[in-house]
Chains A and B, each alone.
Chain A
Amino acid sequence: KNQVEQSPQSLIILEGKNCTLQCNYTVSPFSNLRWYKQDTGRGPVSLTIMTFSENTKSNGRYTATLDADTKQSSLHITASQLSDSASYICVVTTSGTYKYIFGTGTRLKVLA
């Protein structure tokens, strides 16, 4: 069964600290993996997209990694800011029929 699991479910950190969010998937056949940031009351915003051959991609203070062998991805946030408080959603797309499998997200709260 195609599934995407994210951990932790929620996370609280202090401003300026780093954090890492995890995404494990059992999706096949794999096409790509995306990380989205969703602020409260807004639509998700794409952070990164990685294909099978890519194992790291950065977008400012956000760095995503992908291990296609272990089917794991992580999103690392460096020097967190208050504006990083949001939900982070991992989405895996299958190849061929292009099914989108969503994780349930990690809610991050950055405190001053």
Chain B
Amino acid sequence: DAGVIQSPRHEVTEMGQEVTLRCKPISGHDYLFWYRQTMMRGLELLIYFNNNVPIDDSGMPEDRFSAKMPNASFSTLKIQPSEPRDSAVYFCASSLGTQYFGPGTRLLVL
């Protein structure tokens, strides 16, 4: 298996633009997690799904953030409108017990 796949790997956008991050989990994994990591706040869990159903979205910062998992092999994290403080590395992870992280998407909002 190729592991967790995230795209894009890097994203630079202007404030106010919509940003969509994508994740393909490892086949067969029933949990999917979205994380954000910054120097100031460290690693933060934003939301996680079990069998495509959102279980806990209490980490989502505000209504500008939304996540979907339309099927077992795909998830998106959308930020609309984006702000400079959203600049961070966003990780997706999938799990059947142990979590496996993707390489991350480095987002810079100017």
Contacts and interface: CB of A to CB of B under 8 A. Distances in A.
Interface stretch (B37-45, B67-75, B77-85): B37-45
Interface in B56-99: 56, 58, 91, 93, 97-99
B25 interface: no
Interface string A20-57: 00000000000000100000001111100100000000
A49 B100 CA distance: 13
A89 interface: yes
B101 A102 contact: no
A46 B45 contact: no
Interface of A: 34, 42-46, 49, 89, 97-100, 102-105
Interface of B: 4, 42-45, 55-56, 58, 91, 93, 97-104
